[in-house]
Amino acid sequence: MPGQRPPRKPPRRGRTAGASSLVLVNTGEGKGKTTAAMGTVLRAVARGWKVCAIQFIKSGRWRAGEEQVARRLGVEWWATGDGFSWESEDLERSAALARAAWEAAKEKISSGDYDLVVLDEVTYPMNWGWIPTDEVAEAIRDRPPHVSVIATGRDAPEALVEAADTVTEMRKVRHAFDRGVGARRGIDF
């Protein structure tokens, strides 16, 4: 806000403690949940971390820009969905794909082979009853100590929020889509 003075003292914090891994949840109606996760993927790769990203809704047909770059950087990438639910010709197939993606994700998390596992748009199949919310939260809580997890999607279930160290809610103030502007290559995918 104009007229505010810059802070002269650092913000008050509790005692600082190290953590061998963190769980981040990016949720809310606003844009930027996956984008924020991909920024963290870049940071992790730059630090030499082994990263796996599993997309629960987007299909391999999307060829999202972040996928192309992430693969070049050595990120293991799984685009396992079949697209938007309202475009699906067979929701049972969509649910089966989500269950298969969860089985793969659960194995990636528990293996200890990765430093970061991204569960992109995982909240949707959780909320639709396609994958068990309690099982997802348990797998995250029981992960090897060095494995960080990022989960994205609207309406994060309470069990997922409780399992997280950091939860960020993206709040929509305005979105171009509401004015009829479609997703734009390079901005949205």
For residue 189, what pLDDT is reported?
73
Angle at 116 between CA 111 and CA 121, to 5 degrees: 100
Torsion of CA 42, 53, 149, 97, to 10 degrees: 160
Give the pair of three-digit tokens for residue 89.
Answer: 């010709």
pLDDT digits (tens, 9 = 90+) for 126-185: 999 999 999 999 999 999 999 999 999 999 999 999 999 999 999 999 988 888 888 877
- Distances 186 to 35, 56, 84 between C-alpha atoms, Å: 11, 21, 19
Domains in the chain (CATH in brackets) are: 23-171 (3.40.50.300)
Contact (CB, 8 A) for 170 and 33: yes
State how far the Cα of 57 lies from the Cα of 134, in Å rounded to an integer: 20
